[in-house]
Structure 1
Amino acid sequence: MKNTLGMAAIMAFAGSGLLAEAVAPAEVAYDDYGAVEVSLTGAPGNVENGAVLMNKGSGNCVACHQIAALPELAFQGEIGPALDGAGSRWTEAELRGIVANAKKTFDGTMMPSFYKTEGYIRLGNGFTGKAAEGDVPPLLTAQDVEDVVAFLMTLKDE
């Protein structure tokens, strides 16, 4: 009985339109300045996972940026601007756009496009020296982008 009620609740929630599919990378709507007003998932970001992504896996933001809120992360980068106060400097929509594809906001930036799958000039295939074949997955999932944005929104000026 509990399983039936639980499944019914999930189906009702899904049918309400509140459980949305992720926006595909090619379908992201950027404004003229690169901001993305609409959540890529329709779900709130997870601040804790966003903090993890700052140092691990495809995020690895600290390779280029310093983040004083994460002093336990060694060898923070100096290539990009410090992310301290990012939640005060930019809106959530602007941060979402910067994380998804910073080139829409900062022309010529060397920051990777974390939620992009097409339009590359010549994407390499590992260390083989050959061009990648087939579809290219984004560096971060839509939910990962939302998680990183949620974490960045906590970095406020005091």
Structure 2
Amino acid sequence: MMKGATLTSLSAALAGLAVMAASVATAETVAPDSVPIVDMELQQSLTGAKGDPVAGRDTFADRKKGNCLACHANADLNDLLFHGEVGPELDGVADRWSEAQLRAILVNSKDVFGEQTIMPGFYTLRVGLNVAKDHNGKTILSAEEVEDVVAYLMTLKEN
């Protein structure tokens, strides 16, 4: 009987540790309604970690996620069709903007450029009126995807 009680206690303790570990793992992610953009910069990573530039390139090019090519030309992705001309070319963007500025622009461009910009905020819940029900209360990109795109953009330097 003592063995069973010990196993039950051990199982409960392990379950508690798993919950605590999960809480610690997600505690570092900044929630979309708590992003501290100050002076057009967002210094801290949304996830507490550096992004993956390879994954960021994929998100950047993905027409169903970032869809960045809809508005921006990018010579690194010349193999893809239909680069937009609405936003600035992103060749050399890492020489023009700091990592903190690029992160702020991606999170909520309206906090950086003003309400008149047509660039969407990719990690904000303040997206305006008439949002489709499936998208209400959701961000366009996850915190990790934003960090990945920032990491990718930081690779785009002048030759």
Q: TM-score, normalised by structure 2?
A: 0.79
Identity of aligned residues (%): 44
Q: How does 1:38-49 map to 2 (within 5 A)?
A: 38-49=44-55
Structure 1's consecutive aligned runs of 4 or more residues displaced over 4 angstroms after TM superposition are: 17-20
Q: 1:114 aligns with which of 107, 122, 139?
A: 122
Larger Rg, first or second structure (1 or 2): 2
Q: How does 1:51-90 map to 2 (within 5 A)?
A: 51-56=57-62, 57-90=64-97
* Alpha-carbon spacing, 1:133–1:70, altered in 2? closer, same or farther (3 Å): closer
TM-superposed deviation, 1:81 = 0.5
In 2, Cα distance between equivalents of 1:49 and 1:73: 16
The number of residues matched between the two structures is 138
Cα-Cα RMSD? 2.3
Q: Alpha-carbon deviations, 1:12-46, whole Å to 9, x = none?
A: xx6xx7985310001000012x2100000011101
Structure 1: gaps (5+ residues): 1-10, 126-131
TM-superposed deviation, 1:103 = 0.8
Q: TM-score, normalised by structure 1?
A: 0.79
Structure 2: gaps (5+ residues): 1-17
Q: Alpha-carbon deviations, 1:74-119, whole Å to 9, x = none?
A: 111111100011111000000000011111111111000100113x
In 1, Cα distance between equivalents of 2:147 and 2:36: 15
* Alpha-carbon spacing, 1:38–1:74, altered in 2? closer, same or farther (3 Å): same
* Alpha-carbon spacing, 1:135–1:77, altered in 2? closer, same or farther (3 Å): closer
Report the structure, 1 or 2, having the larger helix content.
2
Aligned residue in 2 for 1:154: 155
* Alpha-carbon spacing, 1:157–1:142, altered in 2? closer, same or farther (3 Å): same
In 2, Cα distance between equivalents of 1:19 and 1:28: 15
Alignment-mate amino acid for residue 84 of structure 1: D
